[in-house]
Homo-oligomer: A and B are copies of this chain.
Amino acid sequence: MITQITNTELMAMEQRKRAHLINSVGGFKSVCLIGTTNKEGQTNLAIFSSIVHIGANPPLISFIMRPDSVERHTLSNILATGVYTINHINENIYKQAHQTAASYPKEISEFEATALTVEYKNEFVAPFVKESNIQLAIEFRERINLSINNTIMIIGEIVQLNFPANCLNEDGYLDIEKAGTISCSGLDSYHTTSRLQRLAYAKP
């Protein structure tokens, strides 16, 4: 049996229920931890499920943030330092990753609060998550204010990639499933994956 919900019905839904539904209908999502630091070296870590590839030349990646949420520490740190890290989440750390969404005061680092480990390397200023198997170092490129609902799109360029050597295929495909990366749906559901198949380049 098919349920049909109209826009009018959506808008009449209780706010939290609508948030669950609308966060679910976009499909499975990338879910990553974004690591930042302020000018004083205070670290911050936040979970985001709106990360999307923008282009490969130059290598650009974006995410969406709400201006009115705990994520503002992430934004102010990115604007202050110009850099951040994107760290994939695996089965071993998804509960800690989810917990970074809690509203900790600014002086508390989500690294400490969730017992995830700060990792600095290659002279990059922003902190990586040591427990993450795929880590991206990003330089901030552009902030786009989405006036339609006051969210903010942040675009950055990938300046460094760290991943398990045995996950890179000959053709450039990185086997993120082999690296243990998981996906999410809605606001709080985490999923492992199982490959059906890689398909050949589509031609008419």
Contact = CB atoms under 8 A, between A and B. Distances in A.
A39 interface: no
A122 B31 contact: no
Contacts of A106: none
B166 A191 contact: no
A137 B118 CA distance: 43
Question: How many A residues touch the partner, as a band?
Answer: 35 or more
Nearest to A55: B149
Copies in the complex: 2
Majority SS at the chain A contact face: mixed
A181 interface: yes
Nearest to A101: B202
B201 A188 contact: yes
B148 A142 contact: yes
Contacts of A28: 28-30, 176, 181-183, 193
Central interface residue in A55, A162, A164, by most chain B CB within 10 Å: A55
Interface in A131-149: 134, 136, 141-142, 144, 146, 148-149
Given A157-B7, A172-B20, A15 B196 contact: no
Given A11-B58, A57-B18, A171-B17, A196 B190 contact: yes
9 contacts: A11-B58, A22-B158, A27-B29, A28-B29, A52-B64, A102-B204, A153-B153, A183-B193, A190-B198
Given A98-B202, A141-B148, A189-B197, 19 more contacts: A2-B163, A15-B56, A15-B57, A20-B171, A20-B173, A26-B53, A26-B61, A27-B29, A27-B51, A28-B29, A28-B183, A55-B66, A57-B149, A103-B203, A108-B204, A173-B187, A174-B186, A176-B185, A177-B185
Interface of A: 1-7, 10-11, 13-32, 49-61, 64, 66, 88, 91, 94-95, 98-104, 108, 113, 122, 134, 136, 141-142, 144, 146, 148-149, 151, 153, 155, 157-166, 168-169, 171-177, 181-183, 185-204
